[in-house]
Homo-oligomer: A and B are copies of this chain.
Amino acid sequence: MIDVDVSRAEKFLSEENLHQAKVTAADALKTVRQQNGEGAEWLGWRSLLDDPNDAILEQLDRLGTAIREEADVFLVCGIGGSYLGARAVIEALSPFFNQEAPEIIYVGHHMSGGYLQELIEYLDTPKVDGEPKSVYCNVISKSGTTLETALSFRKIRNWMGNTYPDSLQQRIICTTSSEGGALNKLIDEYDFQKFVIPDDVGGRFSVLTPVGLFPMAVAGIDIRSLFYGAVTEYEKLENEAEILINYAAVKYALYQKGKQMDVLTSFEPELSGLCGWLQQLLGESEGKKQKGMLPVTASYSTDLHSLGQFMQDGSRTMMETFITVQKSDTSFTVEETESNNDELNYLAGKSFHDINSKARKGTISAHTEGGVPCISVNIEVLNASQVGAFIYFYELFTAVYCYCLGVNPFTQPGVENYKKRMYKLLDK
């Protein structure tokens, strides 16, 4: 269950403004539920939780587990909503220094020739025991024509065709739309395995479809727990959404008051990816009609040593959102040393988790006093089920908050602009 503490942000708002914003947010939630807002044809991220498809979960899990047992390297070839969700969850729930195969490598998320060339050299290099690497690839693209992904996939596909002439068909798994598009043509050509992206789910809302779930399954994440964590949060919020309404109201009222940026941060470095996923979810949904607060990511306490000065004393244009984990392992503690030359013995016996929590509390207190409205979004414990709940909570939050702003949460018309110019320069 996701909990939100807005008490340190509310006090920057008048009672009147906050009350108005709450009325607006409650209406926005109704609009989502009644499916009568702009973009209502894109609400598939709700219906898939309302009526879970266990057969697909089973299929994803079975193939994911089989590849996990066989692969040395698993390539996730996608960009934006096609990989940010999977990466976020895999980073949040996997060890920092993962020594178990398969190694997960992201590709198709930019057009660096150097990266792609060196990746292929790396894949070509035998393992330490002299055996060739066993490589699988999941390419994820609704249209199949997103340039970064399609170009990288052409290179990877050619390399894999040369390297694994007899097993190419098993080694490439496509996640794409039910029909149409370039990937479906390649599936017809090569007979690749396929997972379907529902037509009514947009890229940044697709993490609980095969887009996100399949790479997670290969990485060893319990995707059933994750998915049903989201289902539970969905059911909870259908009955009672006061926390979410208040949160959307406070953020909306802060925007109305002139806040220009929302710095999304956590004191847990493994949640950096989740902040990155959230940055797309919010930014691409709200950044329209010259509106919105730019979502900026930071990782604390690391970035307090680069952005902390600005957060404390720079232009007062931002709010801050802290993603926190309430319960954590406290067995890793500071040891005593005899000389105490580093003067840290006063912390001996304390857990790193406890010290890190105090750093977070000190930061929130200092930034609030410095004029930054701070909101805490709390995950009780970091596991698949809670991360699933977090994902749905923010999907619904984003839709509600965007309807408050008066923008369609589900389109991204501005993204086409640079593509048009790029294609013109490329003589397409």
Contact = CB atoms under 8 A, between A and B. Distances in A.
A322 interface: no
A421 B335 contact: no
Contacts of A294: 261, 296, 307, 310, 314-315, 317-318
A63 to B, nearest CB: 23
A287 B180 CA distance: 50
A15 interface: no
Contact of A309 (B283, B317, B422): B283
Interface in A304-334: 304-318, 328-329, 332, 334
A42 to B, nearest CB: 15
Contacts of A334: 151, 154-155
Interface in A396-428: 412-415, 417-428
Interface in A125-167: 125, 128-129, 144-148, 150-151, 153-155, 158
A61 interface: no
Given A182-B341, A269-B115, A341-B189, A335 B283 contact: no
Nearest to A310: B287
A351 interface: yes
A373 to B, nearest CB: 15
Contacts of A183: 342
Given A115-B269, A294-B318, A299-B110, A363 B422 contact: yes
Interface stretch (A1-9, A33-41, A76-84, A383-391): A76-84
Given A305-B81, A314-B294, A366 B417 contact: yes
Interface stretch (A19-27, A47-55, A95-103): A95-103
B189 A301 contact: no
A96 B112 CA distance: 11
A117 interface: yes
A77 B287 CA distance: 38
A387 to B, nearest CB: 15
A1 B44 CA distance: 53
Interface stretch (A222-230, A236-244, A352-360): A352-360
Contacts of A344: 150-151, 154
Nearest to A152: B352
A354 to B, nearest CB: 9
A298 to B, nearest CB: 10
Nearest to A338: B189
A13 interface: no
B347 A426 contact: yes
Contacts of A79: 301-302, 305
Contacts of A380: none
Contact of A80 (B188, B305, B337, B366): B305
Contact of A337 (B154, B337, B417): B154
7 contacts: A79-B305, A114-B332, A116-B332, A283-B310, A284-B307, A309-B413, A362-B423
Given A155-B334, A361-B425, A366-B421, 9 more contacts: A111-B355, A113-B356, A261-B261, A289-B313, A290-B316, A291-B315, A304-B418, A309-B413, A361-B422
